[in-house]
Amino acid sequence: MTLVHEHEESPAAHREDAPVPSAAPLMRMATGFWTFKTLAVALELSLFTRLSAGPHRTRAELATELGLQDRPADMLLTACTALGLLEKDGDAYRNTPLAEQFLVEGKDCYFGGVVRFNDRAYLAWHDLGAAVRSNRPLTWDPDIQTTLFSSGDPDFTGLFWNGMHSLSAATARVLGQTYDFRPHRSVLDVGGGSGAFLIELRRQHPHLTGTLYDLPHVCDFARDRIASAGMAEHVRITPGDFQREAALPGGHDLILLSMILHDWDERDGRALVRKCHEALAPGGVLLVCELLVNRERTGPLDAALMGVNMLVETAAGRNYAEDEYLGWLHEAGFADTEILRFDAAGANGVIVARRA
C-alpha cells in the first residue's frame, strides 16, 4: 500500500500553475457530423456544379436558384465558405479550387460518389455501439448475404461502385506519381471494382496494359466505365472470385491489391497474399495500397477510423498495421519489401513486395 501524507502532493494532484486544457478538440469531435452533412446537402443541391456552370452569384441569386429561403441559404453558404469549399468576393460566391476540382458533377475527378455512398452509411453509424458490442456489420445482414459485395441489387451496386470509383481514382492519381511503374508492362488489379485504378494508371503510364479481376456483376459495371474512358483495348476484364478460386490469372509482372485486404479477416488476407505470390514470376511485384495503421497502433487518425468503419461495413475486416502486412508478405515468400508513404483519399502508403 502506498500512503500519501497530507503535506506531500500526489503526482495526480492539481497544480495551480498547470495550464488548463481546452475542451475545443472534444467539441470538434462531438460535432464532426456537422461537417459531413453540410457537405452532403451542398452536393445534394448541386451547389458546386451550379457555380461552376455560370458566373459568380450572390446569396440572393443562389437562394432563388436553389429554391431556398434567405436564412438557410445564408447559413449553408457561410458554412461552405468556412470549410474552404467556397470563396466570397464582395457579395458573390465562387468555388474554391478544391471544390472546382472534386465537387463538380461530370468531371473526371468528381468525389461526390464517395460522399453519397457514405451518406448511405450515416444512419448505420448512429448505432455504432451495437457493432462494437456484437462484432456484426450494420449496413447488411451476414445471415442473408455472404459478403457486402455479393448483393446483386443494381441500386446498391451502382451507389457503391460510383463511390468507390471516385475514391479509387483519387488514390490512383497519387499512387501513379509515387511508385515507378516504368519497369512494368502488365498489371493485374485484384478486386479492381470499377476499373478506376487501371484507367488512371494507364493515363499516367501509357505503356501499361491491365487486367481487372472481380466478381461477374462487378465486371458488368466496370465494362461500361472502362469503355467510356477509351480503355477497352488496353484493359482486359476477367470475372472471378479471388476467395474461392485456387489461383489468380497469371502472366502479369505487377499485381495490385488496393483497399482490398482491409475487407477480410487475417486468414483470408494471408491466403490472398499467397495466391499473389504464386501468380507472379520471379522479379514480379505486389503492391499493397492501404490506409496503414502504424506499428504502435496509435494512428494515423484516418487509418484508425477506417478500422472502426470496418466494424460497420464488414463481418471480419479491419485496418491492419503495416507490420502485420509485412509479416504476411514475408510468410508468403516475398523477400524484398519497402513502404512508400503518400497522402491520398483512400490510402496513406503502398507496400512494395518483390518476389525473389
Q: Which of 102, 126, 152 is the last residue in one of the domains?
A: 102
**19 located within any domain:** no
The 10s digit of each residue's pLDDT in 57-97 is: 999 999 999 999 999 999 999 999 999 999 999 999 999 99
Q: Which residues of 206-238 are buried (b: 16+ CB within 10 A; e: fewer)?
A: eebbbbbbbbebbbebbbebbeebebeeebbbe
Asked whether residue 199 falls in the same domain as residue 314, the answer is yes
What pLDDT does residue 109 have?
86
Q: How far apart are CA 333 and CA 356, in angstroms?
A: 8
The answer to whether 241 touches 214, Cβ cutoff 8 Å, is no
Asked whether residue 206 falls in the same domain as residue 299, the answer is yes
Q: Which of 78, 102, 126 is the last residue in one of the domains?
A: 102
Residue 19 has pLDDT above 90, yes or no: no
Instruction: List the domain range (segments joined by +) for residue 81.
Output: 34-102
The set of catalytic residues is 262
Could you tell me the pLDDT band of residue 15, with boundaries at 50, 70 and 90?
low
| Three-point CA angle 153, 157, 160, nearest 5° | 140
What pLDDT does residue 27 have?
95
Asked whether residue 98 falls in the same domain as residue 120, the answer is no
- Inter-CA distances, 350 with 165, 180, 281, Å: 19, 12, 21
Asked whether residue 76 falls in the same domain as residue 179, the answer is no
Residue 114 has pLDDT above 80, yes or no: yes
**14 located within any domain:** no
When mean pLDDT is compared across 1-5, 94-98, 300-304, the lowest value belongs to 1-5
DSSP 272-322: HHHHHHHHSPTT-EEEEEE-PBPTTS---HHHHHHHHHHHHH-SS----BH
Asked whether residue 82 falls in the same domain as residue 135, the answer is no
**145 located within any domain:** yes
Q: Do the strands 254-258 and 186-190 form a parallel or antiparallel pair, or are they unpaired?
A: parallel
**15 located within any domain:** no
Asked whether residue 163 falls in the same domain as residue 95, the answer is no
Asked whether residue 89 falls in the same domain as residue 175, the answer is no
More confident residue, 46 or 16: 46
The answer to whether 42 touches 4, Cβ cutoff 8 Å, is no
DSSP 76-88: HHHHHHHTTSEEE
Asked whether residue 255 falls in the same domain as residue 326, the answer is yes
Q: Do the strands 86-89 and 92-95 form a parallel or antiparallel pair, or are they unpaired?
A: antiparallel
Question: Quick one: DSSP state of residue 195?
Answer: S
Three cell numbers written together for 307:
478500422
**190 located within any domain:** yes
Q: Which of 226, 221, 229, 228 is nearest to 211 (CA)?
A: 226
The 10s digit of each residue's pLDDT in 143-167 is: 888 777 666 667 776 777 788 898 9
Q: Which of 197, 209, 215, 207 is nearest to 251 (CA)?
A: 209
Query: Which CATH number belongs to the domain containing residue 54 in this structure?
Result: 1.10.10.10
When mean pLDDT is compared across 14-23, 269-278, 295-304, 333-342, the lowest value belongs to 14-23
Identify the sign of the CA torsion 259, 191, 163, 267: negative
Cell 484508425 found at = 304
Asked whether residue 159 falls in the same domain as residue 253, the answer is yes
Q: Which of 170, 62, 195 is nearest to 107 (CA)?
A: 170
Asked whether residue 210 falls in the same domain as residue 351, the answer is yes
Asked whether residue 58 falls in the same domain as residue 81, the answer is yes
Query: Which CATH number belongs to the domain containing residue 250 in this structure?
Result: 3.40.50.150
**22 located within any domain:** no
Cell 495526480 found at = 12
Interval 21-41 mean pLDDT: 95
Three cell numbers written together for 40:
452532403
The answer to whether 254 touches 184, Cβ cutoff 8 Å, is yes
What pLDDT does residue 152 have?
61
DSSP 118-172: HHHHHHHHTTHHHHHHH---SSS-TTT-SSGGG---HHHHHHHHHHHHHHHHHHH
**241 located within any domain:** yes
Asked whether residue 171 falls in the same domain as residue 94, the answer is no
**78 located within any domain:** yes
Instruction: Tell me how many domains the chain contains.
Output: 2
Three cell numbers written together for 122:
450515416
When mean pLDDT is compared across 135-144, 236-245, 287-296, the lowest value belongs to 135-144
To which H or E segment does residue 44 belong?
helix 32-44
What pLDDT does residue 229 have?
94
Cα torsion 31, 33, 38, 42 to 10°: value is 170
The 10s digit of each residue's pLDDT in 216-275 is: 988 988 999 999 999 999 999 999 999 999 999 999 999 999 999 999 999 999 999 999
Q: Which of 45, 79, 102 is the last residue in one of the domains?
A: 102
